[in-house]
A and B are shown apart, each in its own frame.
Chain A
Amino acid sequence: MILTRRRALALSAGATTLAVLGFAPGRPQAATEAVDQALKAFTGGAAPVSGRIVLDAPEIAENGNTVPVSVSVESPMTADDHVAAVMFLAEGNPTPAVATFHFTPLSGTAVATTRIRLARTQNVIAIAKMSNGAVFMDTKQVKVTIGGCGG
């Protein structure tokens, strides 16, 4: 067994600004519309494509109140070609736009990790906006269970 290293909490590599939005009360029925709006506001209307971005999240949440999610984006991170920002959307949450990470070429790599709260089973979406305006997206379903009877 490896002893757990306790070290000072550092912001994940490359993330210079972290904006975590609160959970305003809302109606789940409005979720799709809210997702579309948040997506449009972030991308400026560019159509997201798959590739270059990898979202890592558990298939089933151990605790819906604090679900670890990570994203990494393949990029040379040069002045001409870098990741400008990455946004996490939680499709089924009252306010889907959960967090946005901003990057610069000096970030070195475009990697970010945070924990989010998921009220119920839903898709988590990570969207990367590149410096040239291209947009990449990855989606993963995270299941939030009542409590298991497995074994």
Chain B
Amino acid sequence: MFSRREFLMAATAVTAIVGPAVVGRWSRAAAQQALTEGDLIDMPAHGNVTLVHITDIHAQLKPIYFREPSINLGVGEVAGLPPHVTGADFLKLYGIEPGTPHAYALTSEDFTALARSYGTMGGMDRVARVVRRIRDERGDAMLLLDGGDTWQGSYTANQTRGADMVEVMNALQPDAMTGHWEFTYGTERVKELVESLPFPFLGGNIYDSEWNEPAFDAYRIVERGGVKVGVVGQAFPYTPIANPGWMFPTWSFGIREAEVAKNVAAARADGAELIVLLSHNGFDVDRKLASRVPGIDVILTGHTHDALPEPVTVGNTLVIASGSNGKFVSRLDLDVRDGAVRSFSYRLIPVFSDVIRPDPEMTALVDKVRAPYEAELGRKLATTESLLYRRGNFNGTFDDLICQALLAERDAEIALSPGFRWGTSLLPGQAITVEDLHNACAMTYPAAYRSAMPGSLIKDILEDVADNLFNADPYYQQGGDMVRVGGMGYRIDPSAAIGSRISEMTLLKNGEPIAPDRDYVVAGWASVNEATEGPPIWDVVEGYLARNPVVRLEENRSVKVAS
């Protein structure tokens, strides 16, 4: 019997994720080699500055499964462009052989079988090992930048109100971070944590909501490898809209393109020779921003959880997408001379937890922060016979489970579950533990509401969310996926205008069309409205699992997508 580690070592047709100095197809990269830690991490050092980027960890301290989306549509000018390429098309675009470790890491193709072969990914002790190896090699030429959505997404993060992640990240010694879900801990907690950080929390687009003055530092200049690097921070522009703004009422966000341009120019005027935008805008917003704001050399993008093996170039700007949940760490080596990038070398490092050795100090720290909660984290709630995952534009099986729980436990006709892009995956046969459940719903506004809504309002909500996802102008997109619906089917035409994307809304229990003027009992969770009442969503799902200890989900066919 091969152990998993041996299996990975022996795997054939492994394409190392090496971006050549000139962007090209992966097929040019080294192939036909065994998978070792060195193969995953090492690359020939290039130039004088190395940027290491990690983003959207969502408080995943331990290795996890995370299935990438099978549907990730782009609209308007970006239709069919990365990251709106999935599955076999993605493999073809980047010259990756199906069935290889990298096909497993980057797509949803044959996910369950490949996950059984290649195992979990991420884990902060593995991430620490990657960072340490690069730091040992590059020394003071390296910057580590955290794109945010770091402090939220797990049971322990929620229990410690982000403290576990702050402690772990501090040990990694980042040079700066920005944020999004961080703000859902509320103004006072965010201030407390931010002030405790030994590195700057940057957000040039965060303003005092009353006086419209900058509330956070916009940029920081750090010298690395003899190069003055200007790191400009950009928090998620729609934090007070996509999340409960009442929890942090004194802060206003927005894209604020003109301010980005001013901050870039100011950093240049302060002597920065390289401008890096550490961004939580989302990929399409950053691609548009790069085309409109001059002077940005590199955008380290986040929020939309895309993992791309090569930079996307927009004019002279490199856009780097480093995935989520600790699955990947990006390394970008730059040759910067006379205030300009002369050449670069890039590697999206997939963090295979069975190949990359854990950093013992970080393992100890992760164990320490989890210790008070270990018994509860491991408490088994049920077993799943189906693959549970969330990521994708329209539905995910973990959301189907949550919607079923809402319908049954809250006695509702229709269930609504937000289209978050975080939430880890479970393979058929795995136990569902408290930790797994909270990975899908840990947050500070978990109340599962139950209310009567007319059919017309349900349609308006679906139209509103669809426009947040499919507006042809990226600046009007919020970066989540479509709201998940239980008990109701509908048809969606993503390329239509707001108000006419959604049709054929049908109540599944009787097949009748949704009547605009009839009230329906709707249960949902994660409302952004203040004073939402109801039990926490995890209690609702736990109650459901107690009565349904074996989860088996049929394929969800209730959303029809017009092509």
Contact = CB atoms under 8 A, between A and B. Distances in A.
Question: Does A associate with B in a complex?
Answer: yes
Interface of A: 1-2, 4-7, 56, 58-60, 62-63, 68, 113, 121, 141, 143, 145-151
Contacts of B419: 149-150
21 contacts: A1-B191, A1-B216, A1-B217, A2-B215, A4-B208, A4-B250, A62-B245, A62-B254, A63-B245, A113-B212, A143-B476, A145-B464, A145-B468, A147-B464, A147-B528, A147-B529, A148-B465, A149-B480, A150-B241, A150-B480, A151-B242
Given A58-B254, A147-B528, A150-B480, A6 B191 contact: no
B241 A1 contact: no
B270 interface: no
Interface in B204-238: 208-217, 237-238
B526 interface: yes
A2 B528 contact: no
A148 B323 CA distance: 23
A145 B181 contact: no
Contacts of B498: 121
A146 B465 CA distance: 9
B215 A147 contact: no
B95 interface: no
Given A1-B194, A60-B241, A149 B483 contact: yes
Contacts, number: 100
Contacts of B118: none
B422 A1 contact: no
A41 B464 CA distance: 35
Nearest to A5: B213
Contacts of B195: 1
A148 B238 contact: yes
A53 to B, nearest CB: 14
B211 A149 contact: no
Nearest to B469: A150
B420 interface: yes
Nearest to A58: B254
Given A1-B201, A1-B216, A2-B215, A62 B527 contact: no
Interface in B463-477: 464-465, 467-468, 473, 475-476
B503 interface: no
Nearest to B242: A150
Closest 9 CB pairs of A and B: A150-B242, A150-B478, A150-B480, A148-B242, A149-B418, A146-B464, A62-B240, A58-B254, A149-B483
Contacts of B242: 148-151
A149 B255 contact: no
A69 to B, nearest CB: 11
B329 to A, nearest CB: 22
B45 to A, nearest CB: 35
A148 B468 contact: yes
Given A59-B475, A62-B240, A62-B253, A147 B527 contact: yes
Interface string B473-505: 101101110010000000000000010000000
Nearest to A142: B476
A1 B468 CA distance: 30
Contacts of A146: 460-461, 464
A60 B526 CA distance: 20
B471 to A, nearest CB: 8
B211 A5 contact: yes
A4 B238 contact: no
Contacts of A147: 241, 464, 527-529
Contact of A151 (B194, B217, B252, B480): B480
B238 A150 contact: yes
Given A60-B238, A62-B252, A151-B181, A6 B475 contact: no
A27 B213 CA distance: 37
Given A60-B241, A62-B253, A141-B476, 6 more contacts: A59-B255, A148-B465, A149-B468, A150-B480, A151-B181, A151-B479
